[in-house]
A and B are shown apart, each in its own frame.
Chain A
Amino acid sequence: MPHGAPLELTGVTVTYGPYDAVRDLDLRANAGEVLCVLGPSGCGKSTLLRAVAGLEPSRTGTIRLDDRQLDGLRPDQRDVGLMFQDHALFPHRTVADNVAFGPRMRGLDRRSVADRVDDALRLVDLTDLAGRRITELSGGEQQRVALARAVAPRPKLLMLDEPLGSLDRALQARLLDDLTRVFSELGTTVLHVTHDQQEALAVADRVAVMRAGRVEQLGSPDELWRGPRTAFVARFLGLEHVVRLTVRDGVADSPWGPLAVPGTRDGDHDVVLLPEALRVIDAGEPRRDDELAVTGRIVGRRFAGDHLRVTVDPGTGPTLTVPVWRGSVPEPGSDLELALDPQAARILEPETTTRSTR
């Protein structure tokens, strides 16, 4: 299998109708890396893929794949693969004919085309369905055919637009595993677009959180999770506790006690509590001395499968939500004692983007 090529976007702007869907965007995916673009619908992430594929013209900037500048090239000259949202499979062709389309367009002889189809179908474990009509396939099978079709020409860059979007939850989880396996087997550079933060964190080497046509933050899943740069990134990753606090001498004055935010200039700041900041105190794990004690009344309970998400109103300040993994099920109305790690708070940069997302 061929190795991927680095992709580099510099100052790319794409106008879509009356909007700049992508605005002055810089992004680099390293060779063989899985880069996830994460953002809400309408943030320009699909337009970004279409621009790299050559389906939308970029108004400014340059797009380079390997050492080749792609700007001005037609889609069929770019040597990229794109898996469309909802797949866009050719309904008048069989599974094998869909997969064979790319290799055929590249002028391969019949034997090589057949080999490529076999390889691609084996990769997604669909060899048995080669002769089927597209309309006879389930959603999950269609998704795998779409993936096989995109990889069959062995593009230097593979792009996926919401590949799991139209599938149900159970199928998503299974196909997520398939995707990660296929990515590592192919070794190609992957640009994966999604609005689902779990999907992004699961498959990506690095994640670019996109908002209103720009990259708001770029980093590994771990970096993002431990250090979201803005409130938008924090909320989009599912971090619920963002509060506005006053900081003096490296200490934030919170309703629950002083939080350590060293190196921060004095003034009002948005602060996020990282997920590990809060835990329920029980007999097995008493509160450490450096932790703050927060006691509040339980006001909400949400079943989340293997744990409960319990919402507590501490009386002062906003409510706090913590996972409860075991032990007795806390009743709404009763009190719950929490420990808050004052080291697990992060200062967020003020929001610079004034334009709202579409």
Chain B
Amino acid sequence: MSLLDHLVIFPILLPFFAGVILLFPSISSALNKQRVFTIATSVLMVIAAAMLLIKVQSTGIQVYALGNWSAPFGIVLVADAFSALMIALSAILGLAVILYASAGEDKNGAFFHPLIMFQLMGINGAFLTGDAFNLFVFFEVLLIASYSLMIHGGGKQRVQANIHYVFLNLIGSSLFLFALGTLYGTLGTLNFADMADKIPHLSNNELMITKSGALLLLAVFGLKAAMLPLHFWLPKAYANTSAPVAALFAIMTKVGIYSIWRVHGVMFGNQAGELANIALPWLWPIALATIAIGAISVLASQSLRVLCSNLVIVSVGTLLVTITLNSVQASTAGIYYLVHSTIACAAMFLLAGLIQQQRGKAEDRFVTARAMPQSAKLGFVFALLAIALIGMPPLSGFVGKALILQSVTDTKQMAWIWSLILGAGLISLIALSRAGTSLFWRTSGENTTALQGSPIQYLAIGILVALLPLMVIFGGSISDYAQLAAEQLNAGLSLQQLNEVAK
């Protein structure tokens, strides 16, 4: 067995060991050593994620049986095209966030770097695992790291936002366990592939119990994904935390979306017999309402970070729409849009951090303030990101939205989806142009004392921004890959196939 056979578990082990090593005394007291070490680790993670991506694309789904215990008895990690893509996304995002934070944000509180590592470990684990209880464990890993990261730097606002976030998620975790207990009680297994096999063969008196367990899971994942009406925590939490943490959290809602896709889109999807597509009648109105409410909140936002948080909610609604459409074409569009919206929102959060830093007391609120020393640079990046977030050509937002709109042209839901998605785009256009004019043009006097952004912060934003045109230039191959991911996702994986791949 060569080292490469263990490639699937690298995205979990690398941040885990890095996080543990960062806690050792000689390194935990030296911030510079920590910075070099985490940046090196996240570069390694990007390489590992790229290798995994290539391997999955060339040889198909990878299954890694932990301790060589075969499923359903042992826990398996499953890397298909979708999860490999998400791992790559989180690795790149992690690198950008760590670079940005290394410019000084990590000084504001203790243990920033180890916490980021544990957070990435939890995120990667949640993407890779093929076992429902293991998913719960990785959710808890990423949550407990996020609780501490959100409060990083301290301050009244953060403590207050964190109280809501932590208690809501603790309640969510309890519900998660209730749901898992219910499902285990009727299905007798927690392995995703095995559950999918057993769901069509349930007896009649077990159907209702399983259904309630499945819908309870929808509530739990919906809370993480911030779908209506469980989204109230998001704007406050994301807008009050520090810029790099908010950027990393851009992928956290996507963990919820990913789990809904796996569990309610596929496991309780077309092949689930009596329980086929039980979540879809709920998800459809919720998805549309999430877009609508998100768009209205975008209009009402008074600061850039709140505006961006509300754009995250709009993107969650758009992704839920692609899940409810339940077709390979829509899933392809959804996967492309997911990657785009995560990158664009994360970059916008990082940029908001720089803007906030350079505007002094006005922070990122839409009020008249002294001009920013680097307003030309920041304004250019802002315009690029605004174009991407609105969904105008030539950046990836346009391609993503066009793919989604194209995937519904023959269906009866077309009128709803076109009007809402295009309407939300128009509203984002209005809100972002208003934001840009107030931030960059409504100025009085010069601010010469403000802290200038450091090159490493621009590098971090640059990495993310550069991905947006690249997603258009290589749009063909990326959407081919997204289609492969969507096909694998929709086909599902039976226990027999899983064990064959594991051999």
Q: Do A and B bind each other?
A: no
